[in-house]
């Protein structure tokens, strides 16, 4: 009983000082590798509103980004080229974690990005996708199962990245 009281007091004290003992990501809803993505309504920045499940039937590359994130901005052009070149084999979508729709939209317009992008105001997608740091890119199979998570910026249209995507999604480059 003493341990429970001590834990409760410690948690209360941390919360009052702006800190908290965060539960593991899996406990708050991150989809595990090999598990299917849950249903979510996508709020569009570019393209029509959609349900996440509408992307099933074709492999999917999901990039989580923000307009204030330098590495995110650096890789966005390579994602556009990837979407243009391989769009018949898999879909590419972006999910912005920006607080302000106008900033995210302005970045996309200025960078010439045309693949579908959505904004995540309620952190639903951030939590489900495991975006505790960005940029984050997920590779998802045609059945909606998460096959891989890649943190950090990369040139997604480079031969090495295309080979990684092809082998993970089991498609021909």
What is the Cα–Cα distance from 115 to 86, expressed in whole angstroms? 12
Kindly tell me if the per-residue pLDDT of 22 is higher than 80: no
pLDDT digits (tens, 9 = 90+) for 61-86: 999 999 999 999 999 999 999 999 99
Q: What is the 3-state composition of the chain as percent helix, strand, coil, each rounded to the nearest 5?
A: 40, 20, 40
pLDDT of residue 14: 36
Residue 28: pLDDT band with limits 50, 70, 90: low
pLDDT of residue 2: 42
Q: Crossing angle of helices 70-86/101-111, nearest 10°?
A: 60
pLDDT of residue 71: 98
What is the Cα–Cα distance from 37 to 30, expressed in whole angstroms? 9
- Domain spans in the chain, listed from the N-terminal domain onward: 1-25, 31-169
The answer, as to whether pTM is greater than 0.85, is: no
Q: What is the mean pLDDT of residues 104-112?
A: 97
pLDDT digits (tens, 9 = 90+) for 121-137: 889 999 999 999 999 99
pLDDT of residue 173: 79
CATH no. of 31-169: 3.40.30.10
Q: Characterize the bridge pairing of strands 117-119 and 91-96.
A: parallel
């Amino acid at each position: 009983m003493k341990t429970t009281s001590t834990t409760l007091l410690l948690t209360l004290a941390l919360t009052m000082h702006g800190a908290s003992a965060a539960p593991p990501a899996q406990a708050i809803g991150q989809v595990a590798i090999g598990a299917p993505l849950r249903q979510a309504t996508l709020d569009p920045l570019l393209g029509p509103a959609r349900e996440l499940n509408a992307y099933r039937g074709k492999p999917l590359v999901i990039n989580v980004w923000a307009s204030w994130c330098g590495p995110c901005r650096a890789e966005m052009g390579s994602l556009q080229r990837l979407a243009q070149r391989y769009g018949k084999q898999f879909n590419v979508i972006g999910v912005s974690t920006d607080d302000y729709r106008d900033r995210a939209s302005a970045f996309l317009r200025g960078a010439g990005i045309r693949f579908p992008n959505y904004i995540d105001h309620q952190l639903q997608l951030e939590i489900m996708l495991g975006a505790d740091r960005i940029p984050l890119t997920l590779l998802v199979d045609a059945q909606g199962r998460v096959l891989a998570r890649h943190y950090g910026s990369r040139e997604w249209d480079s031969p090495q990245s295309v080979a990684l995507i092809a082998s993970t999604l089991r498609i021909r480059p």
